[in-house]
Amino acid sequence: MKDNQYQKLLAEADSELLSIYTKLVRIRRIEEAIAEKYLEWEMRCPVHLSIGQEAIPVGISMHLSKIDHVYSNHRSHGHYFAKGGSLKKMIAELYGKETGCCGGRGGSMHLIDLDVGFMGSTPIVGGTIPLAVGDAWSAKIKGEDRVTVIYFGDGCFEEGVIHECMNFSALHKLPIIFVCENNNYSVYTQLKDRQPDRKIINIAKAHGLKTHTANGNDVLEVSSIAYSAVSNVKLGDGPQFFELDTYRWLEHCGPFDDDHLDYRPKGELAIWKDSCPVSKLKKHIKSKGSHEKIFKTIEVKIDKEIKIAFEFAKNSPIPKIENLNKYTYA
């Protein structure tokens, strides 16, 4: 194909859809690169990878501005990147380097980038939920026109703090969106073995929150409800709650496939891989006539960015011993 023909095809492609696709692929390729590089055993922390769950943060962050705040959990990479977090600083953090987003002190589960409104993640289940609610309460008191988003998994619904925080948010009509990424597992245990036969979203509704559901592997569906919810919050409609079904492809913690452990029903992983959020959007874009070369160009550009980020991380200095107590508070 001649360059002028390719440029014509690119111009004809839906630029917004290609932008969304680029964000999905970027998260996927970064996570895959982390899984591959992890086997070199140079990273200084455990990792909880979000491969298979990329559509949720991308679909939501499309409708957030830089001033809006996001809080996350242990599986935070996708949330961080979708909000605009620095790739170089994040990879450096995994290697425990001084240039990391937490100065090499926090690792994968303690990401932060205040410049883009990613307020932080912690590994304690439910630990960031009261922080997000307090942030939303502060915004309401100060009259700030911003939204707070808090991500958590279905396992978090077994923690008391989520129910206390939903009640408080509904009572004060706080500008916050609770996002439950329901991947059906808390480590190795299915939802049906942990909770009664009930819909999580109905519990949120009982607390007085406006509720929304969507296919968490369809970025356009997620985007649609996110657009409505963000608009509702900014109009003073109070807290919103999402329950989004999705699925993690790899082990709970680490870079490996763990289907051989047999805690997932046979064939379940394959079914969910057939519902891959990246492939789903790519198929949709191709149905509009986009050429394969467009996708390849996107991937090459992302891979180059990832390579540079890993080189930056590996060449960065480790934290200085004299700064060991710099961020320790009595």
- Per the listing, tokens 């090499």 go with 104
Classified by CATH at the fold level, domain 12-313 comes out as Rossmann fold (3.40.50)
CB-based contacts of 161-164 (< 8 A; 24+ apart in sequence) = 161/126, 161/129, 161/130, 162/126, 162/129, 163/203, 163/207, 164/130
Give the CA dihedral 40, 43, 48, 52, nearest 10 degrees: -50
Give the pLDDT band (50/70/90) at residue 8.
Answer: low
Distance, CA of 56 to CA of 54 (rounded, Å): 6
Q: Are 80 and 285 in contact (CB under 8 A)?
A: no
Q: Are 168 and 127 in contact (CB under 8 A)?
A: no
Encode pLDDT of 71-86 as tens digits: 999 999 999 999 999 9
Please state, for a pLDDT cut of 70, what percent of the chain lies above it.
95
Report the chain's terminal Cα–Cα distance, integer Å. 65
> Is pLDDT at 5 greater than 80 in this prediction?
no
Give the pLDDT band (50/70/90) at residue 6.
Answer: very low
State residue 33's pLDDT score. 98
State residue 38's pLDDT score. 97
User: Which one has a higher pLDDT value, 276 or 7?
Assistant: 276
Please state, for a pLDDT cut of 90, what percent of the chain lies above it.
88
> Is pLDDT at 322 greater than 50 in this prediction?
yes
Side chain identity at residue 283, one-letter code: K
Mean pLDDT taken over the chain: 94
State residue 58's pLDDT score. 98
> Is pLDDT at 175 greater than 60 in this prediction?
yes
Q: Are 74 and 123 in contact (CB under 8 A)?
A: yes
pTM for the model stands at 0.93
> Is pLDDT at 204 greater than 70 in this prediction?
yes
Distance, CA of 62 to CA of 57 (rounded, Å): 8
Give the pLDDT band (50/70/90) at residue 288.
Answer: confident
> Is pLDDT at 163 greater than 70 in this prediction?
yes
Distance, CA of 75 to CA of 143 (rounded, Å): 31
State residue 1's pLDDT score. 43
Q: For the chain, what are the domain ranges?
A: 12-313
Label the pairing between strands 210-215 and 240-245. parallel
> Is pLDDT at 312 greater than 90 in this prediction?
yes
Encode pLDDT of 234-277 as tens digits: 999 999 999 999 999 999 999 999 999 999 999 999 999 999 99
> Is pLDDT at 149 greater than 70 in this prediction?
yes
Encode pLDDT of 40-79 as tens digits: 999 989 999 999 999 999 999 999 999 999 999 999 999 9
Give the pLDDT band (50/70/90) at residue 2.
Answer: very low
Average of per-residue pLDDT across 30-37: 98
